[in-house]
Amino acid sequence: MNIKHPSDSEVIMTHLVLPNDTNQLGNLLGGKLMHWIDIAAALTAMRHSGRVCVTASVDEIEFSEPIKLGHVVVIRSVITRAFRTSMEIFVETWREDPLNNVRAKASSAYLTFVGIDQYGKPLQAPPVDPVSEEEQHRFEEAAIRREARLKYRETIRARRG
């Protein structure tokens, strides 16, 4: 199985926020942004694995800045690490106000995807070879996040009996 660099599967998507994308305050709907984030992350996972991929989990989505009607949304998605069958994807979102030439980070998220075969069975994911210092940090931190995910699931299952 070929080792791949995070940049090999990076996805950058751009959207213009239109009236149908906003709430009563003129802000981008959180659900719409989550939808775009999920698509970008799925494309990254598919590029990395060469397989159809499904969302296994969303760890966290942090909304740090509102995105207004007329803003441009730039979504960058990159793989942080692959485990046996799962792949952790980091997605960051930027909002750009094209009329005032202002850009700000609007959100970040970690999602987990699994490549599947035609029967829906998980397939082994190619390993990730981080190159930059930032990629190496995310690679190492991915193991910590994975351990926390697994421990959380185990705790919930134990409580349910």
pLDDT given at position 18: 98
Residue-level pLDDT at 2:
86
What is the DSSP annotation of 68-88? BTT-EEEEEEEEEEE-SSEEE
Percent of the chain, pLDDT > 90?
A: 93
Residue 9 has pLDDT above 90, yes or no: yes
Q: Residue 60 pLDDT more than 90?
A: no
Mean pLDDT computed over 52-69: 95
Task: Give the torsion sign (CA, 138, 76, 117, 32).
Answer: positive
Residues 101, 107, 112, 114, CA torsion sign = negative
pLDDT at 86 over 90: yes
Level-2 CATH architecture, domain 6-160? Roll (3.10)
Place 159 in a pLDDT band, splitting at 50, 70 and 90: confident
Q: Does the pLDDT value for residue 38 go beyond 90?
A: yes
How far lies 155's CA from each of 33, 128, 149, 158, in Å? 30, 29, 10, 5
Q: What is the pLDDT of residues 87-127, one digit of tens each?
A: 999 999 999 999 999 999 999 999 999 999 999 999 999 99
17-37, pLDDT tens digit by residue?
999 999 999 999 999 999 999
Q: Which helix (H) or strand (E) holds 155?
A: helix 133-160
Q: In the chain, where are the structural domains located? A: 6-160
Residue 46 has pLDDT above 90, yes or no: yes
Q: Beta partners for 142?
A: none
pLDDT value of position 12: 98
- Tell whether the model's pLDDT for residue 1 goes beyond 80: no
